[in-house]
């Protein structure tokens, strides 16, 4: 899960929490803060602590961007005062907390054991149902399908990059990789596919604005 830096609260008083959407998108890009999918429809401003359960409705620290799938799954479960029971992409090292080397995300057990925050990571994972695989027509959750499409694109792009036999063609292909990754989203999937290519990883970190670079430096392989 991409760790993000929203920055300081804007010097503006919101009359409606939805008014924060342009500023959040400007700082973080139009991506879900949880599943990381690119949001082609209007991003939803969601509350870490549900506003209907006492969470601050207009405070910057309580707001994140979300896709409709994650926002619906999360619902109004987290009430005021319960935020510390979960990991949050704008507060914690969520990059190392989860692994993206399989068809669905999973907990990075070794890392979480060392950090001692497995329960928090698991709580967020279950809250969002990040491992959900739609098995009935009624389940419209497209996160699994789009995540795997992103993986296929990243792997094809990696194979193509390996065939570049000159610096100029590689440079052009790297720019193509950057554009494709930004269009598709799923930052952690791309970082996993290119985990052995430091150049591409640096490009990805800079391409997805608002990414907390310091959390993405250490190799996940150290904890797996």
Give, for all 224 residues of the chain, the pLDDT tens digit: 999 999 999 999 999 999 999 999 999 999 999 999 999 888 999 999 999 999 999 999 999 999 999 999 999 999 999 999 999 999 999 999 999 999 999 999 999 999 999 999 999 999 999 999 999 999 999 999 999 999 999 999 999 999 998 999 999 999 999 999 999 999 999 999 999 999 999 999 999 999 999 999 766 545 55
Place of tokens 């601050």: 56
pLDDT at 42: 82
pLDDT tens-digit map of 177-215: 999 999 999 999 999 999 999 999 999 999 999 999 999
- What pTM, to 2 d.p., does this model score? 0.94
CA distance 132 to 110: 23
Contacts 24+ apart (CB under 8 A), 99-102: 99/192, 99/220, 99/224, 100/188, 100/189, 100/191, 100/192, 101/192, 101/224
pLDDT at 41: 81
pLDDT at 220: 58
């Amino acid at each position: 899960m991409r760790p993000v830096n929203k920055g300081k609260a804007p010097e503006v008083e919101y009359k409606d929490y939805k008014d924060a959407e342009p500023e959040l998108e400007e700082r973080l890009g139009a991506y879900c803060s949880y599943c990381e999918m690119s949001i082609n429809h209007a991003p939803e401003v969601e509350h870490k602590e549900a506003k209907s359960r006492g969470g601050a409705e207009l405070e910057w620290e309580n707001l994140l961007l979300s896709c409709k799938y994650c926002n619906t799954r999360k619902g109004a479960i987290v009430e005021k005062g319960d935020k510390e029971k979960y990991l949050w992409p704008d507060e914690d090292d969520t990059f190392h907390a989860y692994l993206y080397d399989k068809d669905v995300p999973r907990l990075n057990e070794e890392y979480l054991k060392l950090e001692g925050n497995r329960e928090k990571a698991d709580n967020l994972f279950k809250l969002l149902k990040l491992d959900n695989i739609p098995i009935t027509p009624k389940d419209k959750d497209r996160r699994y399908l789009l995540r795997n499409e992103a993986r296929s694109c990243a792997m094809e792009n990696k194979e193509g990059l390996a065939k570049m036999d000159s610096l100029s063609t590689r440079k052009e292909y790297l720019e193509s990789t950057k554009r494709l990754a930004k269009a598709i989203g799923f930052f952690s999937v791309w970082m996993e596919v290119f985990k052995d290519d430091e150049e591409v990883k640096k490009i990805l970190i800079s391409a997805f604005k608002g990414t907390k670079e310091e959390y993405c430096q250490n190799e996940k392989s150290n904890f797996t």
